[in-house]
Amino acid sequence: MTISNEALEMAARVEAFVRGRIFPYEQDFRRDHHGAPTDELVMEMRELARNAGVLTPHIRPNGSHFNQRETAAILIKSGLTPLGMLACNTQAPDEGNMYLIGHVGNPDLKARFLKPLVEGRARSAFFMTEPAELQGAGADPSMMITTCHRDGNHWVVNGKKCFITGADGAKVGIVMAKSEEPDTKGGACLFLIDLPDPAITITNVPNTIDSSMPGGHADISIDNLRIPADQMLGDAGEGFKYAQIRLSPARLSHCMRWLGGCIRAQEIATDYANRRMAFGKQLIDHEGVGFMLAENMIDLKQIELMIDWCAGVLDTGSLGTVESSMTKVAVSEALMRVADKCVQVMGGTGVADQTIVETMFREVRAFRIYDGPTEVHKWSLAKKIGRDWKHANA
């Protein structure tokens, strides 16, 4: 499937906007306690994006999505700075939540919960991950301990969640809970809710290595949350299936955005290496430095090709769980190499907050864990190898 001129033109507009209007905001000090941009800053940038016609650029005005290859062209450009994805409304978790609601939600739910997200006037949170000390759901959603049961025309949810990105300040929530109803056979349910809600308490917002996502990654307590039955997303007991509709494209979207950020880090490190003198010549002319940038060039191209391949698979209508796992592992590990070399090339400047190179190192390090750690994806792929071998040799 080819990339349309419409998508290429949008990608070019996003790049021009991010480079021209958003790069200067990188030195804006409106940040929260863990370094993330404040909602005031985000909304100010979004107003600029709205006026420039690049707000939520991956969704057309009629509500239809660009295909995954086209989305890649756009999201890579929005990710040239972590602020770009916030300004253009292509950031996690909102981009993935918009995708899920758009594919599973009925017209009423879309009008109530999706519209303000697409318009960039609200943030959202996806309540899935649970505390490790409770043996709750993490990379393995089947371990979910948050429960829900029917009570008249409502469902009641109880449990604890952790690392819920963007929960602090979110207006829309998607809550996942394991059903206690016999007819759902222990399946999960997804619910759309308005936030804040008195039954949902933020107990802690830890400082984490990354700092690009407003609201941080909160710990949550849910106590007798009553949700009208008509706010269920899809059918009861099918939540795990719907989560896969979200998770595979969301993994790929992370790859797209952080590729953009590492392209920018490479640009900064390249500029530094060509300007900085040491031992009588430019840094770029020292093989130890030049070779690192050359290796980055190779990794960045391989990442681009991997993203394009996975996007092509998803565009066929496949869930692409295997392909997205492979891509998530390959891309996150390669981006870590790129970010690390950019820091190394720039020396002391690379570990200072004077540029986004230091930011990208921290962000990509976190990316190797969320949406499934590298080791979990490898384990899942190894299981598939074993199943395929047994099937072929049965």
204-234 pLDDT per residue, tens: 999 999 999 999 999 999 999 999 999 999 9
The DSSP bridge partners found for residue 204 are: 219
Instruction: Quote the pLDDT of residue 376.
Output: 94
User: How far apart (Å, rounded) are the C-alpha atoms in residues 51 and 29?
Assistant: 23
Task: Give CA–CA dist 245/96, Å, rounded.
Answer: 9
Per-residue model confidence (pLDDT) at position 90: 98
The dihedrals phi and psi of 106, each to the nearest 5 degrees, come to -80, 170
Cα separation of 163 and 370, whole Å?
A: 9
Which CATH fold topology does 125-237 show? Butyryl-CoA Dehydrogenase, subunit A; domain 2 (2.40.110)
What number is the average pLDDT over the span 32-56? 95
- Nearby residues of 290 by Cβ (< 8 Å), 6 or more positions away: 273, 283, 284
| pLDDT at residue number 1 | 62
- Is the N-terminal amide bond of 82 cis, ω within 30° of 0? no
Domain with CATH 2.40.110.10 in the chain: 125-237
DSSP reduced 3-state for 227: strand
Longest dimension (CA), the chain: 79
What integer best gives the mean pLDDT of the chain? Answer: 95
Please state, in angstroms and rounded to a whole number, the distance separating the CA atoms of residues 10 and 220: 38
How high is the pLDDT of residue 244?
A: 86
Run of H or E residues at 176: strand 172-179
SS3 16: helix
Give the Cβ contact number of residue 289 at 10 Å: 22
Please list, residue by residue across 104-116, b when 16 or more beta carbons sit within 10 angstroms of its beta carbon and e when fewer do.
Answer: bbeeebbeebbee
Task: Collect all residues with Cβ–Cβ distance below 8 Å to 211 and sequence separation of at least 6.
Answer: 31, 34, 35, 36, 359, 362, 363
CATH architecture of 240-392: Up-down Bundle (1.20)
Please report, as a single letter, which amino acid is at residue 167. Answer: A
Q: 156: which strand partners? A: 149, 226
Measured distance CA(239)–CA(245) in Å, rounded = 10
Q: Rounded to an integer, what is the distance from CA 191 to the centroid of its chain? A: 20
Average pLDDT for 257-262: 98
Is the dihedral angle over the CA atoms 362, 364, 366, 368 positive or is it negative? Answer: negative
**Rounded to an integer, what is the distance from CA 116 to the centroid of its chain?**
19
Distance, CA of 381 to CA of 320 (rounded, Å): 13
Can you give the pTM of this predicted structure?
0.94
The answer for residues whose C-beta is within 8 angstroms of residue 215's C-beta and 6 or more apart is 36, 123, 125, 165, 166, 167, 168, 169, 170, 205
Q: What is the mean pLDDT of residues 355-360?
A: 96
Mean pLDDT calculated for residue range 56-71:
95
Q: Which of 209-223, 234-248, 257-271 has the lowest mean pLDDT?
A: 234-248
In this predicted structure, what is the pLDDT of residue 137?
A: 76
Q: Are 335 and 367 in contact (CB under 8 A)?
A: yes
Q: How far apart are CA 76 and CA 85, in angstroms?
A: 9
Q: How far is CA 223 from CA 87, 165, 359, in A?
A: 34, 19, 36
Are 140 and 190 a contacting pair, CB within 8 Å? no
Q: What number is the average pLDDT over the span 29-41?
A: 91
Give residue 18's pLDDT.
98
Q: Rounded distance, CA 333 to CA 81, Å?
A: 19
| pLDDT tens per residue across span 182-207 | 988 889 999 999 999 999 999 999 99
Confidence of residue 132 (pLDDT cuts 50, 70, 90): confident
Instruction: Give the gyration radius of the chain's Cα atoms.
Output: 21
List where CATH 1.20.140.10 sits in the chain: 240-392
Tokens of 74: 């756009």
- Answer yes or no: is pLDDT of 335 > 90: yes
Q: Is 293 helix (H, G, I), strand (E, B) or coil?
A: helix
The secondary element (H helix, E strand) that includes residue 114 is none
Cα distance between residue 160 and residue 147, in whole Å: 10
Mean predicted confidence (pLDDT) in 292-296: 98
* pLDDT given for residue 42 in this prediction: 97
